[in-house]
Amino acid sequence: MEHIKNSNTQAIVVNSGNANACTGAAGLKNAYKMTELTANYLNLALQEVLVGSTGVIGVPLPMDKITYGISEACKDLNNNGGYDAATAIMTTDTFQKTVMVETEINGKNILIGGIAKGSGMIHPNMATMFSFMFTDAKISKEMLQKALSESVDLSYNMVSVDGDTSTNDMVIALANGLADNDEIIEDGKAFDSFKEALHLANTTLSKYIAKDGEGATKLLEVNLKGAKTEKDAKLCAKSIITSSLVKSAFFGSDANWGRIMCALGYSDGEFDPDKVDVTFKNKIGQLQLVKNGCGTNFDEALAKEILDQDTINIYIDLNDGEYEATAWGCDLTYDYVKINGMYRT
SS (H, E, C) the chain: CHHHHHCCCCEEEEEEEECCCCCHHHHHHHHHHHHHHHHHHHCCCHHHEEEEEEEECCCCCCHHHHHHHHHHHHHCCCCCHHHHHHHHCCCCCCCCEEEEEEEEECCEEEEEEEEEECCCCCCCCCCCCEEEEEECCCECHHHHHHHHHHHHHHCHHHEECCCCCCCCCEEEEEECCCCCCCCECCCCHHHHHHHHHHHHHHHHHHHHHHHCCCCCCCEEEEEEEEECCHHHHHHHHHHHHHCHHHHHHHHCCCCCHHHHHHHHHCCCCCCCHHHCEEEEEECCEEEEEEECCEECCCCHHHHHHHHCCCEEEEEEECCCCCEEEEEEEECCCHHHHHHHHCCCC
Q: Which of 211, 246, 274 is the last residue before a domain boundary?
A: 211
Query: Average pLDDT for consecutive 10-residue bins of the chain (345 residues)?
Result: 88 94 96 97 96 92 97 89 90 92 96 92 71 96 96 93 81 95 97 98 95 93 98 97 96 97 97 98 97 97 97 98 97 90 81
pTM attached to this predicted model: 0.91
In angstroms, the Cα distances linking 199 to 24, 133, 151, 191, 221 are: 36, 11, 5, 12, 17
Same domain, 176 and 311: no
Give the pLDDT of residue 147: 97
Residue 269 structural domain: 219-341
> What pLDDT was estimated at residue 342?
83
Q: Are 107 and 192 contained in the same domain?
A: yes
Same domain, 276 and 294: yes
- Specify the pairing of strand 130-135 against strand 311-317: unpaired
Which pLDDT score is estimated for 126? 59
- Domain final position from 211, 233, 262: 211
Measured distance CA(134)–CA(115) in Å, rounded: 9
Distance of CA 99 to the CA centre of its chain: 13
Q: Are residues 160 and 82 in the same domain?
A: yes
**What CATH number does residue 235 fall under?**
3.10.20.340
Does one domain contain both 92 and 163? yes
**Mode of pairing for the β-strands spanning 97-105 and 108-117:** antiparallel
Give me the phi and psi of 135, to 5 degrees please: -140, 150
Query: Could you tell me if 69 and 165 lie in one domain?
Result: yes
Q: Which pLDDT belongs to residue 128?
A: 58
CATH number for the domain spanning 143: value is: 3.60.70.12
The reply to whether 29 and 167 lie within a common domain is yes
Provide the pLDDT for residue 317: 98
Residue 265 CB partners (closer than 8 Å, separation 6+): 273
Do residue 202 and residue 234 come from a single domain?
A: no
Do 152 and 48 fall into the same domain?
yes
Judge contact between 158 and 239, C-beta under 8 A: no
Q: Which of 195, 211, 227 is the last residue of a domain?
A: 211
d(CA 59, CA 202): 31
Q: What is the pLDDT of residue 1?
A: 86
Q: How many whole angstroms separate alpha carbon 39 and alpha carbon 100?
A: 27
Same domain, 233 and 180: no
pLDDT at 345: 76
Give me the pLDDT at residue 343, please: 79
DSSP β-ladder status, 311-317 and 219-227: parallel
* Amino acid of residue 139: I
Residues 54 and 147 in one domain: yes
What φ, ψ does residue 69 adopt, rounded to 5°?
A: -65, -40
Query: Looking at the annotation, which residues are catalytic?
Result: 128
| 162 and 16, same domain (yes or no) | yes
- The domain total for the chain is 2
